[in-house]
Structure 1
Amino acid sequence: MASTLLLDQVGWDLCLDVAGNIALATEPYATAQDAAASVRTFQGEVYYDVGRGIPYFDQILGHLPPLSLVKAYVEAAAALTPNVVAARAFITGFKGRKLTGQVQITDTAGRLTAAGF
């Protein structure tokens, strides 16, 4: 069973558990959160794989692309997450420079889980 650091859904920062320790997210939410983190990754930001991420600077910010293109980028980035077999994006806001939404993933165990971005 994989786990990852649990991030606050509003501030996207570390959370504490009831004992005051850094909280962990476990499956299946851990995979969904990792997929949402992939959506927040700018292309070139991952130093060991500069091809990963979404080309926000080159093709999205300041360019006003169609939402279908943004959705395709989001789904492709989420699908690169380990243990994700399918990803579906729901864009809830694209105002100014802020993109918000939800990514729903299906993992290798067949579970459907969602996380916001």
Structure 2
Amino acid sequence: MTYRTMQLDTSTWDLMLDGSGNLAIANDGYATAQDVASACLVFSGECYYNTTLGIPWKTEVLGKLPSTGFIQQKMQEEAMKLPIVDKAIASVFFDRATRSTRGTIRVTDINGDTSQVTL
């Protein structure tokens, strides 16, 4: 099964055009990785057509001291909501020097293909 989605520009997270001036389309592994990244970046309740999607960034993460395990769990749960995702394993770490949190999510889709997303 081929999985497709509209391709987003990685620097602006906005739609892109292909060489012919049409909306660019991402396929298979890249499409899965992009949709997982989008799902994990959505704030809880802010997805216009489905307010049950998203991570509670405002209420349970930002300005709080959540464990990396909590963030990993939330990211994995969001990734698993995508029908193409079969397995999701998140890895999150906090850099005390820069006071920033970074993470990756390794996903396996229903076709058995593996992709990795870095956030």
Shorter-chain TM-score: which interval?
Answer: 0.7 to 0.9
Q: Tell me the equivalent position of 1:30.
A: 31
In the comparison of the two structures, how many residue pairs are matched? 116
Secondary structure of 1:37's counterpart equals helix
Provide the alpha-carbon RMSD of the alignment: 2.2
Higher relative contact order (CA 8 A, sep 6+): 1
Amino acid at match of 2:90: A
Secondary structure of 1:81's counterpart equals coil
Alignment of 1:24-103 (within 5 A): 24-91=25-92, 99-103=101-105
Secondary structure of 1:47's counterpart equals coil
Point out where structure 2 has 5 or more consecutive residues left out of the alignment: none
Instruction: Using the aligned pairs only, state the percent identity.
Output: 34
- The yes-or-no answer on 1:106 pairing with 2:105 is no
Is the 1:79–1:86 contact (alpha carbons within 8 Å) kept by the matching residues of 2? yes
| Alignment TM-score, normalising by the size of structure 1 | 0.82
| Alignment TM-score, normalising by the size of structure 2 | 0.81
